[in-house]
A and B are shown apart, each in its own frame.
Chain A
């Protein structure tokens, strides 16, 4: 059981950091292990934002180990050298925790090749690359992660988030949601459910050059959709295809720089409540998530089995 939440403001910006925090905090009982935010912020859209980590925050069941912080600085230096050799120009860098960074940079070449080279450095993982996407995930509840990464001031158009209860993989950042839709900029995914054909799909996608950073089955959705889009499918086409391509039970959200989508498996085994108006769509695993930002009386509904919906900002 995990909790997922998402919202999209149509035609305006809002304080999506605080709004998503309220929604995820209301779902804390569904997933106390880690919390993740994918915020589509009002950045200037000129430069890439790369968020990456050089070490792990290790929790229960994680295959990672606690390391001395001194190794983090060394890895960060290696990342800087690699960026220089790739021709990326770093305009601004922020150290958010001992193990995670946010870089604003200019880069015009292929992001897949770029990502492969950065992630060839030991224990370095790119959490996201995008011009508006700010992807943050760490151990703790929504309030703790919001405070740790100072997300309360982030304004933007849309956001998706996840409160994780670890089941098939450990409690750590690499297994936390959202997952970046590598190698596409500004694509993120959150998922509630279990995928039963994970390994078959993973082997097939790895043979096609796609990369997996964790053993978390939910990562498959991001990679699956990214591969479909790489071959020319639209986001909605990829999502519809996933209903038969992914086996198991799932409700997932996917977001791009200008859209937000949801898909529910054909068994309708995982919950989702949806509120839709002309200027706001809000959805979550439970109605209390929506109520946390819309306390007045509203009309909500459960999407049906096998339903896919995509909204634009």
Chain B
């Protein structure tokens, strides 16, 4: 956690009224301190040419070396990078903050392509737990199955698994779209806050448990609804939107969308009440 302290000498950002505190965490300073000219650009991004393509064999590299190599190739202008022999290694392709065609010829382990912002990723294998966690933007397509916590805390973009996924898909989701061609496990959409999940197959128990907001569409059977998750009628705009998304995802071409179940938050949990924050203060 960043160490928050008051800085007596005001920075340019503070004098502009942007904030009153300085976050001394390294990353925060890198992004938000406008006093240093070099921090005005978006760190970790490069001008790349999608037609400039290269293969990268990571068989003998660990995840840090492989990710560093990807960064290095982007800095050299490569816009299409094909990763050979990923062999289920963890944390490959994380932190890519660039437009990039990233192709994995094989399977990834845990935390694959996490915290990305912009790339188009295709994984011709399976992914382990927490694939694309905290993804901001871009498109990720997995050709086979995915593990649990698929798309945890994603904030934007399209995350697509053509096979089945494990438990807690879309846990803490804050935006974007997650699409699953097969089945999903228990606690799908657990505590999701925004965004949409489309599951064409069956889902396990406790669907949408404690969800704050967002929408889940299920094509198959539902094991059980979680706390405060309720069914809502499908509308024409739901059907049209899902149709568009499935086309983008290249799955479910003949799927009967109109028979899907739409699940939303009932907003009856303790944290939802009729009072606005200002009214709460009055009540206290």
Contact = CB atoms under 8 A, between A and B. Distances in A.
B107 A287 contact: yes
Interface string A261-275: 000001111010100
* Main secondary structure on B side of the interface with A: loop
Nearest to B150: A302
Interface stretch (B8-16, B22-30, B42-50, B163-171): B163-171
Interface in A292-313: 295, 297, 299-302, 304-306
Given A288-B87, A288-B109, A295-B87, A267 B147 contact: no
Interface residues of B, number: 29
A223 interface: no
Interface string B105-142: 01101100000000000000110110000000000000
B167 to A, nearest CB: 4
B185 A286 contact: no
Interface string B159-192: 0000111111000000000000001011100000
Contacts of B185: 268, 302, 304-305
B145 interface: yes
A290 interface: yes
B204 interface: yes
B243 interface: no
Contacts of A295: 87
B267 interface: no
Contacts of B148: 268, 271, 302
A304 B88 contact: no
B99 interface: no
* Main secondary structure on A side of the interface with B: loop
B262 interface: no
Contacts of A228: none
B196 interface: no
18 contacts: A266-B186, A268-B186, A268-B204, A271-B148, A286-B128, A287-B109, A287-B128, A288-B109, A291-B88, A291-B107, A300-B107, A300-B126, A300-B144, A301-B126, A301-B163, A302-B145, A305-B167, A305-B204
Interface of B: 87-90, 106-107, 109-110, 125-126, 128-129, 144-148, 163-168, 183, 185-187, 204-205
